[in-house]
Structure 1
């Protein structure tokens, strides 16, 4: 009989086999749209149900028809990006307006509902950790109202600045987002230096904080929304972050690096990513999964326009990035180039 310890000895090889057979990307045409009590149309993107080996997280895309509202419900923490359209959300009784490019953070357990008040369908991108919550026994989704057409809009106190009554950020318009690299404004400058590589050896930067010294050599522009464990734009998130938008100039490649798990969603541009030696083509609407813990990858913009991709990371990534930093450090291999 195999003992528990023999199983432990096999876990690493078992995980590598699962990752090698798991899905790496999903194009928008492959999304399986369904109707739920919460959404008129919603499809899972990177999730265990669609063949990805995630760390307990999942991303999805949902649509709100013109003149419709979503259902009203509560669950664990959720990060949202508005892909298209305009409207508002009611979160724990407060109204937060949003438009294309806005980002939102729904606190754990907060009751919320979204309304499309524009003249085009709304599409919103959502990131949660339902599987991880379920595994540890804290997940509970409660449905209060189903989706459908609205005949009148709810009366609710409106947040003038996207902050909740206790001062935490719930909604942020894209023009107000912190710009770490490129653009104008965005806050205090970050310490930067030139990476020094030794031959083909990667630079061991340790974690995301170590990598930030070289972001100016990594991407054309990084527009940050929210970060786990950090006060970024006033957001306070713990489980999931939509970090922001990573931009590469036309006909360029970004820096080559390796780190823990991340989800990517292509907003603009066409090109491909090399992920552990595999070429993965992408276009607007494509989702790409960086599995971790040290997945080597690089992004190539083959188009004549700026490529823009959302970067999403689960909070548990940063937990392991800290405690396993000496075993699986963040690695930097090469800088961005034309």
Structure 2
């Protein structure tokens, strides 16, 4: 007679098959746009509902019409990146102004609402872990008001620093995000057939030459977090590679990449996955081997996100069983489309 232990023994093979069958990318033209009480126009990107095997995360893209606002609601942590437009958010009674390229963090349970104060539709990318919350009984989504046209923005205090009263960063503007160049190509590279390098803390902190440019938002492992105190989700920052270059070949736990600029493809566990602006690529983990190639004429900007359960939990406790691996570093050598 089969027991619970027999079922447990099959968990890994079940998960492996689920990952094999899941999607790896979704493109702008494949999105299903809907109206909800919160958003006038919103679509799911990488999420279980769209066929991805995530670690409880969901990413979305939404638009706020000119002269409009979102609903007001509260839920678990959320990371937001402003793809286009300008406006402000009211978070727990304080106003935070934002523009294209800004990154915002909604603390767990914070009441918040977003306002478009510019001449074009404001588009934002959202990253949450609501399915993880649901799995453990913490998914409480409360709606206080619905989206619609704005008469006037509520008169509440402005946070000029982008910090809340507890000293936590709520918004980081594009021009204030730290920039750093990747180290020289060739460092840590491995020949075909060689055992890949296990990443130590120093390699993870510097990115080990994976890309030519890093723009830090909520920060990479081992680096500053710009006063963000996120734990459940992480909009790490921008990964960038020059035209005709490719990033390093490596393997790690779950990450999501939303393409802001440029075009190219990724090799994900041996499969070629093309992308362009508006595409969203899913790196499933726990040791997905992948590499990104810029086949366009401008530097690529990939918005990189990862779940907090990876960054602050499993990446630390499971590093011997599922270590972060490097196979080769970035190169400026010409790549084919």
Q: TM-score range by the shorter chain?
A: over 0.9
Partner Cα distance (2:100, 2:207) in 1: 26
Q: Is the 8 A contact 2:188 2:208 kept in 1?
A: no
Q: Is the 8 A contact 2:169 2:226 kept in 1?
A: yes
Partner Cα distance (1:276, 1:257) in 2: 10
Partner Cα distance (2:205, 2:129) in 1: 29
TM-score, with structure 2 as normaliser: 0.94
Aligned position for 2:318: 324
Q: Is the 8 A contact 2:269 2:290 kept in 1?
A: yes
1:297 corresponds to 2:290: yes
Partner Cα distance (1:273, 1:113) in 2: 35
Partner Cα distance (1:287, 1:141) in 2: 25
Partner Cα distance (1:213, 1:143) in 2: 39
Partner Cα distance (1:272, 1:197) in 2: 22
Deviation at 1:174, TM superposition (A): 1.0
Partner Cα distance (1:231, 1:331) in 2: 22
Structure 2 gaps of 5+ residues are: 333-337
Distance 1:26 1:138, change over 3 A: same
Distance 1:273 1:128, change over 3 A: same
Pairs within 5 Å for 1:1-338: 1-181=1-181, 194-195=187-188, 197=190, 200-206=193-199, 209-212=201-204, 215=207, 217-227=209-219, 231-318=224-311, 319-338=313-332
Partner Cα distance (2:196, 2:157) in 1: 50
* 2:258 aligned counterpart, secondary structure: strand
Aligned position for 2:335: none
Deviation at 1:166, TM superposition (A): 1.4
Q: Is the 8 A contact 2:205 2:220 kept in 1?
A: no
Partner Cα distance (1:144, 1:226) in 2: 28
Distance 1:150 1:281, change over 3 A: same
- Cα shift readout 1:109-138 (whole Å, capped 9, x = no counterpart): 000000000000000000000000011111
* 2:13 aligned counterpart, secondary structure: helix
Partner Cα distance (1:228, 1:2) in 2: 45
- Cα shift readout 1:259-301 (whole Å, capped 9, x = no counterpart): 0000010011110000000000000000000000000000000
Deviation at 1:218, TM superposition (A): 1.6
Structure 1 gaps of 5+ residues are: 183-189
TM-score, with structure 1 as normaliser: 0.93
Deviation at 1:204, TM superposition (A): 2.9
Partner Cα distance (2:164, 2:292) in 1: 37
* 1:158 aligned counterpart, secondary structure: coil
